[in-house]
Amino acid sequence: MAETTGTMQTGTMQKVVVLTDSESATGFRLAGSEVIDTTPEKAVAELERMVTQGNYGLIAVDQSLIPDPAKAVERAMRGRDLPILLPIPSLQDAFSAQTVDAKAYMGKLVRDTIGFDIKL
């Protein structure tokens, strides 16, 4: 029997999900991730629903939908330890009109994330 402590139940498995746009969702699904695809207009409401539902331990949020997910659902997160909200760079940013070199953009993401370059 699971004990309830605060907003988290012990003995239950917390899920991981990616909140992204429909274009990026396919890649995450192919990687085996649970995905919820949404639009920028509905993204905050969807994130709030996932936070209050309490089934998720980690929600990765596409920054093109919600640039600062923690701030967007600050009220819903009050008193909760979970879920962890992880903003992830948008794939759309790599191919936007402001990005001159998509390869350099992706290289910078890797370098910023792991601390060094990977050359293939």
Could you state, in order of their start, the residue ranges of all structural domains in the chain?
4-88, 90-120
Only one residue has tokens 């992830």, namely 88
* Residue of 16, 15, 39 whose CA lies nearest to 86: 16
Residue 37 to residue 40: CA distance in whole angstroms = 10
Residue 26 to residue 95: CA distance in whole angstroms = 17
What's phi and psi for 59, nearest 5 deg?
-120, 115
Q: What is the pLDDT of residue 109?
A: 72
Per-residue pLDDT of 34-53, as tens digits, reads 999 999 999 999 999 999 99
State the DSSP code for 8: E
Rounded to the nearest integer, the mean pLDDT of the chain is 84
Q: No. of H helices and E strands in the chain?
A: 6, 6
Which fold, 4-88?
Answer: Rossmann fold (3.40.50)
- Give one DSSP letter per residue of 49-74, joined into a string: HHHHH--EEEEEEETTT-S-HHHHTH
Only one residue has tokens 């309830």, namely 4
**For residue 10, how many C-alpha atoms fall within 13 Å in the half-sphere facing its CB?**
5
Q: Apex CA 95: angle with CA 43 and CA 36, to 5°? A: 25
Per-residue pLDDT of 75-98, as tens digits, reads 999 999 999 999 998 877 666 677
pTM of the complete model: 0.74
